[in-house]
Homo-oligomer: A and B are copies of this chain.
Amino acid sequence: MNKVGTYEFMAEPFHCDFSQRLFIGHLCNYMLNAADFQSTACGFGMEYLLSIHRSWVLSRLVIEMEEMPKLYSKFMVDTWLANAHHFFTLRNYAVRDSSGKVYGYGNSVWAIIDTESRQPTDIFAVDNGVMKKWIEQEPPCPIDKGVRVKMSDDAELLRTIDTYYNDVDVNGHINSVKYIEHVLDLWDIDWYKEHQIRRFEIAYMAEAHQGDKLSFYREQTGDVEYCVRICKEGDVECCRCKVVFK
């Protein structure tokens, strides 16, 4: 029983930026795919959960990258359950090539909600606590899990955008990956010519829907460290991010 799932992906042409390196948003997409594939392989995938009126909900995602895969390169995402409590699981990731070179690491926190009440439910109630059997603490994932990102009231409103058809996922909510892209769009190409992302973290707090206007508030919290708050109308906070550049 191999508790680590390994999935191969390729840095496709339209998923790479001007520097011919994979976009962070697409990397996160691949990591979330790997999580989905591995939980399905373990017997607690989305399809099974939906059949018992439950659903995985991504609460937090962190990545820390030494380097991004280059155009056309194949890379692996390893993923495994690193911990599970009654109301959340911790899932880790390593992004590497077939020779073992590590591009970077990630971790994520997931909850399981009841699809009717939309409230968190006990993870150990799923299939008699099957997830406990899959916890694997062995592979290293030497990055901070991150804590709640602190922001002051001085964050500057940088941009308000409309949300459209292509922003919406299969559940009818604004797609987790699109938030990441919209946040990274707060910097322009000239900035990215000088700065690569070392660490990116995002916490998902409230769901938004197509038609919601999203406002992006940004605050510089370090030399090359920024925090971003995404709010929908009524100043309801949907996401909070921290971006650290090299």
Contacts and interface: CB of A to CB of B under 8 A. Distances in A.
Nearest to A177: B14
Contact of A166 (B164, B172, B184): B184
Interface in A167-196: 168-172, 175-177, 181, 184-185, 187-189, 192
A207 interface: no
A97 interface: no
A29 interface: yes
A146 interface: no
A185 B166 contact: yes
Contact of A25 (B166, B171, B184): B166
A183 to B, nearest CB: 10
Given A36-B13, A170-B71, A172-B18, A165 B189 contact: yes
The number of chain A residues touching the other chain, given as a range, is 35 or more
Given A14-B175, A18-B172, A36-B13, A166 B188 contact: no
Contacts of A184: 165-166
A181 to B, nearest CB: 5
A16 interface: yes
5 contacts: A12-B33, A14-B32, A17-B166, A18-B172, A172-B189
A211 interface: yes
Given A12-B33, A29-B14, A188 B170 contact: no
Interface string A7-31: 0000011101110100101000100
A200 to B, nearest CB: 14
